Structure 1
Amino acid sequence: MNEPLRYLYNESYLEKVVNSCNDFPGGLLGPHITQRGLVISVFNPQARHIQIIDRNNGRVFDCSPVTDNGLYGALIGSNTTIDYFLRIFPYYGEPYDTEDIYNFPVQTTTQTGYLFGNGVNYNIYEWLGAHLKTIKGISGVLFTVWAPNAQRVSIVGNFNNWDGRMHQMNRVHDVGIFELFVPYMEAGEIYKYEIKTPEGLPILKTDPFGNYQQLRPDTASIVADLSSYSWGDNSWIEKRSTDNTFEKPMAIYEMHPGSWRKAGVNKDEFMNYRDIAPVLADYIKEMGYTHIELMGIAEHPFDGSWGYQVTGYYAPTSRYGTPEDFMYFVDYMHRNGIYVLLDWVPAHFPKDAHGLGRFDGTCLFEHPDPRRGEHPQWGTYIFNYGKSEVKNFLISNALFWVEKFHIDGLRVDAVASMLYLDYGRENGNWLPNINGGNENLEAMEFLKHLNSIMDKRNPGALVIAEESTAWANITKPPTENGLGFTYKWNMGWMNDFLSYVSTDPLYKKFQHDQLTFSMVYAYSEKFILVLSHDEVVYGKCSMLNKMPGDMPQKYSNLRTTYGFMFAHPGKKLMFMGQDYGQNDEWKDTMELDWFLLDEEPHKQMQQYVKDLLHLYKNEPAFYQQDYNEDGFEWISKDDRENSQVSFVRKTSSGKGNLLFICNFTPVERLHFPVGVPCSGVYTNIFTSDNEKYGGTGLCKSQTLTAQKIEHDSRDYSIQYDMPPLSITVFKYDYVDDKKIEAERKLAEEKRIEQEKKLAEKKMLEEQREQEKVERLAQLRQREEERKQAEQTRVDEERKQTEKAVEEKKKLQRKATKRVDTKPATKATSKATAEKPATKTTAKATAEKPATKTTAKATAEKPATKTAAKATAEKPATKTTAKTTAEKPATKTTAKTTAEKPATKTTTKATAEKSVTKTTAKATAEKSAAKTTAKATAEKPATKTTAK
């Protein structure tokens, strides 16, 4: 013992370290700067000598013993730390080099401990437990454990001969977390924690956060590497996050891996996860199940507990392989389209010495008051849901299975025992809550917290409650004062239904309500209908042997039972062995009686369940509206005398609805009337009485047409030959007859109205056509009248023209005769000139259209030189006629007119007829032209006329 060196140590501290009573040995051991310089201390009771070797220069420092029980120290002298390693000379064996376990920085952060202490460090499984790490370039294992009341915590194992003095851990946080990094340790190393209780008693405990344990009866933890497996189901996890499972089929196959199939010549060995995976996946796909629910995966020491008394919450049981093997199993299921659910037990844990009970010598995980901390029926501890670290332990564990092992959901066991403070207790043996009630308020808050964070972090992951009471709002979200579970086992339906189907048919009518009552509350929660392992153990008989009657009737009853279960709203769960009619109860120590499939009745039963499962998955009416009241309709539910019911399951579209008719008696009923929802054709798509399943084959008809015969308060019905002990499924498309009739009437009214409008339109068109014809006739008549009038006018004008021409000729002849017989005298001209020109003459002259012709004719007359000049200077235009009309007739005109006895008539006729040219020609032919021209030239008004 080096006395000069010992004075550098705190004596009290030193004694606690060497006596293994200190919760922070790092305060003494490892490198420390003192007034004398750097001191390195090592505690190793198994060493006879220790050397410190500087890595940089190879310098060797021999340690001196500070005590006589394993504490060594060396005064390096430097005021700075050095990079060093240790060379250990054990009492037995060869020297070996290692690292100083107290020469590594603390890894647990203040934040980590703070969040854990407040119950919200959801990734605490990444810190607590044993994890492969590399620190300061040295690989090893970092150990952390929560033991706030321990005097000292050590890591023990083969690596240190299970000596608790060798690897004492440091308390690194006020919340009670201990930590130690063990260099060069690898995966596969076994270990435990040696904990010195407040009373100073050392106890050995398995790591609560350990990921792997020894196969029972051994109980040590094993260092595991969970990061080495390469997953191949990323697309599956992505798809799961968007799944709406409420509207999808869910047929769960509950199984116990240890007894599903056995390995070995004597069938007494466990199969490995990797060996189970392909065989199980093929069976699940062939049968048509969608999910598997695994019992007993979390590590448990007692086989007979079936995995419901857990000691290793973070470790898949080593019965079937390593954690990596289990990862392979889950991955294989996902790659084959199969969901994986686990039984999870946060309600209680066993009292095994190596487990969680009295973990640090105190009631750490369990409630300290036995009226809340112990379960009298099961002899187990109950978690203290009011402690933040315990809640964190459980919530983190649920997330661990989903996030690390890609589990698709958890079935939470024994929820009722968590919710009621008096569950399984006698009066006076339970402690009320602060309000004086029997509700476990802390457990309620824990479950809400669990479900909220699961949904937030892992959308699509299921959390299913096995809750056997009528606790309200199990599947409602916490925001609606619910607990937030995704689904709930329908234990009420299971108990009532099994009681009903196991009753002799003669007495079923007295228990008819047990068959129908479940629909009263079917939509109060999101239920899963279950026929679980609990119903085929402890003297309850197998499902087949629950059925009344002889063996053929038992099989018929069982087929009807399964058929009704799948027809009833809710998701489905069946325990292994039930699908082929296992004869005996389930025994966890033996594999299922697969040899029964060599017998025809069991083979037929398996075929029936297989066909039923595939029908269930292929027909949306079975599952699409499981949680919508509109998806179900009773047809006949009160026929207790005949023990028959009929009902409808509907799709959201109304296409492909299903009618179920169930007969729970061994009596066949020919031409049995069944009311139906509507008219149409009903196709028989499935019956449990099919001969290939071992039935009578009574129902041969494939399609039935609904008749307008009222039955079961329905307007339409079918007549059906109902087989004994059977369920038959008819498929149809919904027809709303009332709506159709209303639409027909409306269409008829529209048609009549349309026809009326068309008739009115046609009448109007005909009327318009008639009016058009009449108008055309009137127009034609008017046109004829006009043409006739025009013709009459033309004829009349022609006659008058001819008459006028004749008159003119007569006058001309007379004028010619006068010229020839007596020359015109001046007096005559003067008398004629002095007569005022009449308005008629002027008007007649104005109305003549052929003035130009007249002028031309006049111009052609052999007039006198003066008259010819005047006429030539005038343009032969309408202007001349106008000028003539606007001016009083000249004397010459008057004279000329005076010489014609029929001036008025001739002038008017000449104005209305285009005969000017003829008149002008006649005038030109007058033999007295020269005399007339001369007379005209001698008139005093010649100048005016010329103008």
Structure 2
Amino acid sequence: MVNAASTGLSTRDLYLFNQGELFHSYRTFGAHPIRSGEKQGVRFAVWAPHAKQVRVSGSFNHWNSENHAMELVGETGVWSLFVPGIGPGELYKYEIETLEGDWLLKSDPYAFGAERRPDTASVVHDLTGYKWRDEEWQKRKVNGSPYNEAMTIYEVHLGSWKNKGKEQFLTYEEMAGELVEYVASMGYTHIELLPILEHPLDQSWGYQVTGYYAPTSRYGSPEQLMILVDKCHERGIGVILDWVPCHFCKDDHGLRRFDGTPIYEGTDWKRAEKPIWGTLSFDFGKSEVQSFLISNAIFWMDVYHIDGLRVDAVASMIDLNFDKPPELHTFNRHGGSEYLDAISLLKRLNETVFHYYPQALMIAEDSSAWPAVTSPTYMGGLGFNFKWNMGWMNDILRYIELDPNERMHHHNLITFSLVYAFSENYILPLSHDEVVHGKRSLLNKMPGTYEQKFAQLRLFYGFWMTHPGKKLLFMGGELGQFDEWKDAEALDWMLLDYPLHLAMKDYVRTLNTIYSNQPPLWERDCDPGGFEWIDVHNAAQSMIVFMRRGLTGNRFTITICNFSYQHHAEYRIGVPESGAYRTLIHSEDAVFGGSVQEVPRLLRSSDIPWHGREYSVAVEVPPFSFQLLTYEGGAGVERLV
């Protein structure tokens, strides 16, 4: 046993780690190229509190660890060793002798790099050499507010957006060219990456992690990932990372029983097991686990300039018995099923992230009815700033799959979301989870003929884009894919050879552009004063009409949706102002594959009271159509004709 000073470790840092308060623990743990005295080498540090001994085995010692035993630092449970004469690129693992005398071979929980699967060694890496060029982006973020800004998120699985063949992936750097330019050209404001933390199984899509501090080597080096993020920022695109603190996989080289005992998952096996996923939950009440997880969130923002995290499966964290059979149920000290330690961790996580990164996006993927998820912790909330609106998503997908003749009986599915739309700061997700496992693609969820499917998908996208809440669309949705997402293959880009699919892509791009240019559609997403129903009760005709208001002046848009087969040659809607209304987009415009050859671009109001308003406009409404109008004003509108 040695003291911290002799290892180059900070006594204070190790104390904070044991207290759950070392929020940059990645600077202490793992493999760090450093100079010790006159010698250059690598310092290794690992937490293994119940190990009898720990050694470092690697390429530098031909995987013979006999001469590289680590030393226990005080009473901290931390082991350390400085190895002179080695540097970045070395492969290594920890050999750990358990209390029973067994030997385990483990990857480094804090490794900055990893071998490409199926190999599992950690890789020494120096993350300090990259020269970032995103100063302008960082300054812009400081002056912004995500609540009243446009946000259209393109959700991407890097392995299957495009590839070169089976398991022949594009690199992060190649994505920095092709993917980023595509996303920018389509008008998205953000990219959200399915988890890129190192994971052993491709089919897990990254949601079962072994290397929390290592970007997966499937797509190249850490520096190449930095290039990808940097390029996104250069093009004005934010980067959100799917992050998975709810569980980890059981692979032998990973965190499970790391030192022969359950130090990451905890000793209560019923609480640790997640049987539906075959994984283990973290012990969220353990101080060192808190340091590990909160530091990991900070790490991706510190080192890779990630703009935000979408925190996966929050419902499974805050409920001790989420999707567990009765024999695995456990209860908290009050007799309830709330996982109090997980709730405390999430609050502390968000407080810490916003302390260091006030403009960060912390997004909860939460399917529960837990209240105040996006309220500050000082008001009793969990402290996230956005939450996926799973209720809206489930209702609208259920509605849109109905036979149009049945929709009149389920009108509440498209209106109910506005009852609670402002109770949280919402993102409206059309994510990967909705286009896999037999759920069908978005296009194939639509009933009817080939042309009707496209018409309804255009209608659906229009409703989604103008409904309060930020937007997220999984890759391929813009192409009108017929097939479900195939995680081992590239998207069906050949569909763009067919007119309706190409037109769908153009339609989505146009929607994104109009959305970004119309502040009423996003300035007051979190404010009930920014939304107003015009026609909400017309279930018989499956019609809805609503208005979105901006922050300044008399700026508003009007959304008209017809979810039925019916054609209305003259459908009258009440409007709040006299004057001219311009059609911003019409989903049945022939340029998007629709049936209307010439869209009326300018509509004039009449002094005919309607829908409780003094004025009204008459609109032709085709079947399965969406129209978006904007108010142009009263006097002087002749110049617009």
TM category (shorter chain) comes to: over 0.9
In structure 2, distance between residues paired with 1:708 and 1:610 = 36
SS at match of 1:621: helix
1:288 corresponds to which residue? Answer: 187
Q: 1:184 aligns with which of 76, 85, 88?
A: 85
Would you say 1:705 and 2:575 are equivalent positions?
no
**1:242, 1:459 within 8 Å by CA — same for their partners in 2?**
no
Would you say 1:170 and 2:71 are equivalent positions?
yes
1:590 corresponds to which residue? Answer: 489
Coordinate RMSD, CA, aligned: 1.5
TM-score normalised by structure 2 residue count: 0.97
Would you say 1:235 and 2:136 are equivalent positions?
yes
Report 1:281-360 matches (<5 A): 281-360=180-259
**2:271, 2:328 within 8 Å by CA — same for their partners in 1?**
no
Would you say 1:117 and 2:23 are equivalent positions?
no
SS at match of 1:252: strand
**2:514, 2:584 within 8 Å by CA — same for their partners in 1?**
no
Query: How far is the alpha carbon of 1:656 from its aligned partner?
Result: 3.1
Indicate the structure whose relative CO is greater, using CA pairs within 8 Å and at least 6 residues apart: 2
SS at match of 1:258: coil
Query: How far is the alpha carbon of 1:706 from its aligned partner?
Result: 1.7
1:612 corresponds to which residue? Answer: 511
Q: 2:476 aligns with which of 577, 593, 596?
A: 577
Would you say 1:559 and 2:465 are equivalent positions?
no
- Counterpart residue identity of residue 337, structure 1: G
- Counterpart residue identity of residue 147, structure 1: A
Q: 2:316 aligns with which of 394, 413, 417?
A: 417
Would you say 1:659 and 2:558 are equivalent positions?
yes
Is 504-513 or 239-248 further displaced after alignment?
A: 239-248
Would you say 1:211 and 2:112 are equivalent positions?
yes
SS at match of 1:616: helix
In structure 1, distance between residues paired with 2:104 and 2:26 = 23
- Counterpart residue identity of residue 189, structure 2: T
- Counterpart residue identity of residue 324, structure 1: E
Query: How far is the alpha carbon of 1:137 from its aligned partner?
Result: 1.1
- Counterpart residue identity of residue 347, structure 1: C
SS at match of 1:506: helix
TM-score normalised by structure 1 residue count: 0.66
Over 3 Å counting, the alpha-carbon distance change for 1:304 and 1:663 in structure 2 is same
Query: How far is the alpha carbon of 1:665 from its aligned partner?
Result: 1.1
- Deviation digits for residues 663-693 of structure 1, max 9, x if unmatched? 0012211111112223222221211010011
- Counterpart residue identity of residue 157, structure 2: H
Query: How far is the alpha carbon of 1:723 from its aligned partner?
Result: 1.2
**1:577, 1:592 within 8 Å by CA — same for their partners in 2?**
yes
In structure 2, distance between residues paired with 1:237 and 1:716 = 46
- Counterpart residue identity of residue 65, structure 2: G
SS at match of 1:260: coil
Report 1:737-756 matches (<5 A): none
**2:568, 2:622 within 8 Å by CA — same for their partners in 1?**
yes
**1:665, 1:724 within 8 Å by CA — same for their partners in 2?**
yes
1:270 corresponds to which residue? Answer: 169
Query: How far is the alpha carbon of 1:701 from its aligned partner?
Result: 2.2
In structure 2, distance between residues paired with 1:386 and 1:431 = 15
In structure 1, distance between residues paired with 2:563 and 2:196 = 39
Query: How far is the alpha carbon of 1:254 from its aligned partner?
Result: 0.2
In structure 2, distance between residues paired with 1:708 and 1:697 = 27
- Counterpart residue identity of residue 560, structure 1: L
Q: 1:728 aligns with which of 619, 627, 632?
A: 627
Q: 1:138 aligns with which of 29, 39, 60?
A: 39
2:639 corresponds to which residue? Answer: none
Structure 1 ranges of 4+ moved more than 6 A = none
Would you say 1:502 and 2:401 are equivalent positions?
yes
1:790 corresponds to which residue? Answer: none
Query: How far is the alpha carbon of 1:470 from its aligned partner?
Result: 1.1
SS at match of 1:257: coil
1:548 corresponds to which residue? Answer: 447
Would you say 1:478 and 2:377 are equivalent positions?
yes
- Counterpart residue identity of residue 217, structure 2: S
SS at match of 1:254: strand
In structure 2, distance between residues paired with 1:176 and 1:371 = 25
- Counterpart residue identity of residue 386, structure 1: G
1:43 corresponds to which residue? Answer: none
2:278 corresponds to which residue? Answer: 379
**2:428, 2:471 within 8 Å by CA — same for their partners in 1?**
yes
| Aligned residues with identical type, % of pairs | 47
1:198 corresponds to which residue? Answer: 99
1:73 corresponds to which residue? Answer: none
Query: How far is the alpha carbon of 1:317 from its aligned partner?
Result: 0.3
**1:647, 1:661 within 8 Å by CA — same for their partners in 2?**
yes
Aligned length: 634
Query: How far is the alpha carbon of 1:698 from its aligned partner?
Result: 6.7
In structure 2, distance between residues paired with 1:734 and 1:148 = 71
In structure 1, distance between residues paired with 2:43 and 2:307 = 30
Would you say 1:222 and 2:96 are equivalent positions?
no
**1:113, 1:173 within 8 Å by CA — same for their partners in 2?**
no
Query: How far is the alpha carbon of 1:242 from its aligned partner?
Result: 2.9
> Structure 2: where are the runs of 5+ without partners?
635-641
Query: How far is the alpha carbon of 1:426 from its aligned partner?
Result: 2.4
**1:553, 1:666 within 8 Å by CA — same for their partners in 2?**
no
- Deviation digits for residues 377-421 of structure 1, max 9, x if unmatched? 111000001101001100000000001110000000000000101
SS at match of 2:411: helix
1:250 corresponds to which residue? Answer: 151
> Structure 1: where are the runs of 5+ without partners?
1-23, 28-101, 736-947
**1:189, 1:223 within 8 Å by CA — same for their partners in 2?**
yes
Query: How far is the alpha carbon of 1:714 from its aligned partner?
Result: 2.1
SS at match of 1:105: helix
**2:576, 2:615 within 8 Å by CA — same for their partners in 1?**
yes
In structure 2, distance between residues paired with 1:464 and 1:734 = 38
- Counterpart residue identity of residue 206, structure 2: G
Q: 1:539 aligns with which of 433, 438, 441?
A: 438
**1:391, 1:446 within 8 Å by CA — same for their partners in 2?**
yes
**2:586, 2:599 within 8 Å by CA — same for their partners in 1?**
no
Query: How far is the alpha carbon of 1:734 from its aligned partner?
Result: 7.4
2:614 corresponds to which residue? Answer: 715
Over 3 Å counting, the alpha-carbon distance change for 1:543 and 1:197 in structure 2 is same
